[in-house]
Amino acid sequence: MLKAQAEELTKNFQAQFKQLQASKPVRKPLVYRQQIKPVRPKLRLHVVQQEDDDYPDPDWDNSLPDVGDDPDASAWTLDDHQNAIDLIIGYKREMSKILTN
């Protein structure tokens, strides 16, 4: 009995499959052409030498004392160093908040 049902289902499936193949037009496979990019000449980079502001002209005097020129100044304590670090970190945190908003 099961064998007869299986054969009947197989015949029905094959008939439906043939109908589907007959009704569906056969398409040619798509052919992809290779895209050709135009050749562009490489640009030559022209580097402009800028003056380095980190190293000012040694002959120029801004008449301001350099850091560490005051012999009467008291030495920095650990609290002074920590306050300076806190100011820098606080500034960076504020800038990151401003930039992310």
The tokens describing 51, both together, are 């003056």
Could you say which residues of the chain have pLDDT below 50?
Answer: none
Predicted local confidence at residue 54, as pLDDT = 67
> Against a cut of 0.75, is the pTM above it?
no
Predicted local confidence at residue 3, as pLDDT = 85
Q: How far apart are the first and last CA of the chain?
A: 75
Predicted local confidence at residue 68, as pLDDT = 65
Task: Give 1's Cβ-side CA count (13 Å radius).
Answer: 0
